Amino acid sequence: MDHDETRKVDMYRHAYKSQCEVEESRHEPGKRPKRRLTLFALALGTFAIGSGEFGSNGIIQSFSSELRVSVPLATWAITAYALGVMIGSPLITVALARLNRRTLLLGLVGLFLVGNEWSALAPNIWLLIAGRFFTGTVQGAYFGAGAVVAAYVYGPGKGGKAFATVMTGLTVATVVGSPAGTFIGQHAGWRMLYIAVAGVGVLALAALWVWVPRTTDLDGEPVGRELTVLRRPMVWVTMAVAALGISSIFAVYTFAGPFVTDAALADAAMIPVALAIFGVGMAAGNALGGRFADAHPARVLVSGYVGVLMVLVVLGLFGDHLSVLFPSMFGVGATMMFAIPAIQVLLNRSAPEAPALVGALNLAALNLANALGALGGAATLDAGLETLSTVCAGFVLTAAGLLLFLASTRARSPGSRSPRPAG
């Protein structure tokens, strides 16, 4: 970042801090109306989004059979959703940058309802793929706008905690929404999954309408201000750190079924148990990471990445025993989710004037991590290695993300003899 850009970032940080101090004096966090209900409404929206996203993985065989296509082709409906998040969400965020965040959230949930009804009514695989892509475009934009609203109700200096709160609905979806959605899809038809998810979306829409504050403090910013952040190298470096590092989650979660049945030689009935344990770990790590990310983002990120690398070693060596597999599943989910709120804080510090856009970019990076982890794990299996070899792919990717972060920290602190991240 050149000298002029650095001055601009410092100026925006100072202006943002001053504005927050003014707002804090006018609305003390503890006295802000409906604070908990506002946060609940935001999390209910992410719960609906996460239930549709993760639940889709459990019904691939159902819609591939009904639509008379192969499973590999049907999998493109899942891939299309991730592409929608990576490509569509940042574009929507920029295009609607001037909207009030409350209005934006309501509009995004409306699009989410359209996307799920589109998916439920799709007569062929191609329209289903298009419907899933359309629905995916909502996710990152919702998380970005939701993080802005959550930060407003929490007060200044709570960006990491705010993002973790919005993420709570997603982590709960891995424990409750995804298994329940998969059960509905398997027993009532795959189309009912998307109808049920849309039903939860209606509840979220109503909750947002009633409990998100109506205030000009949540008005958007000029599009030009949002776009300037894309010229900052640290924004892209942080996204790369996220995409590489977090991919180990998906190198494990994607292959949880084979871990249970092929590696540990357990009954398939234990797969939902493994997924639920993983989800509980994610929820715990997200809550803990959100508590510390604002004060020490770099330390939290490094701790999360180092922690998951240690757990992956144990999982790779001894994961063929359920007594090790289950605690390791919890550990991977907890350590990685511990790091994610810190990534949002680091992005906010690199681009303090565009919190909604960096929130959408963070989700785009997470979905790229999804693809990298799944592809890396599949590559090890295609090479003829054993089931737990997917853990090796996750280890390599997370280690690369950690090394990139440490190298970027050293580059920003040329006078340091060793990388010492601020915070």
pLDDT digits (tens, 9 = 90+) for 159-169: 677 777 777 88
**Burial of 223 per CB tally in 10 Å (0-12, 13-18, 19+):** middle
Mean pLDDT, residues 103-111 taken together = 94
Instruction: Break the chain into its structural domains and give their ranges.
Output: 32-220, 221-423
* Nearest of 373, 380, 370 to residue 56 by alpha carbon: 370
Of the two residues 413 and 400, the one the predictor is more confident about is 400
Report residue 121: phi and psi, to 5°.
Answer: -100, 0
| Cα(47)–Cα(52) distance, integer angstroms | 9
Please provide the CATH number assigned to the domain covering 32-220.
1.20.1250.20
C-alpha distances out from residue 333 to 28, 40, 276, Å:
34, 23, 11
Q: Tens of pLDDT along 232-264?
A: 888 889 989 999 999 888 888 878 878 888 899
| pLDDT number for residue 357 | 76
pLDDT of residue 114: 96
What's the whole-model pTM score?
0.74
Residue whose token pair is 């090890």: 380
Superfamily of domain 221-423: MFS general substrate transporter like domains (1.20.1250.20)
- Domains 32-220 and 221-423 fall in the same CATH topology: yes
Q: How many C-beta neighbours within 10 Å does residue 147 have? A: 30
Q: What average pLDDT score do residues 89-103 get?
A: 84
Does residue 101 contact residue 149 with C-beta atoms inside 8 Å?
yes
Chain segment 2-52, per-residue pLDDT in tens: 555 455 445 444 444 444 443 444 444 444 557 788 889 999 999 999 888
Q: Mean pLDDT over all residues of the chain?
A: 82
CB 245 within 8 A of CB 397: yes
State residue 159's pLDDT score: 67
Over its C-alpha atoms, the chain yields an Rg (Å, rounded) of: 21
Question: What per-residue confidence (pLDDT) applies to 415?
Answer: 52
Categorize the per-residue pLDDT at 293 as very low, low, confident or very high, splitting at 50, 70 and 90: confident
Q: How large a percentage of the chain has pLDDT more than 70? A: 86
Please give the pLDDT value at position 420. Answer: 46
Spatial distance between the Cα atoms of 104 and 92, rounded to a whole number of angstroms: 10
Nearest CA to 255 out of 70, 171, 380 is that of 380
Q: Which of 8-12, 100-104, 291-295 has the lowest mean pLDDT?
A: 8-12
**pLDDT at position 305:** 96
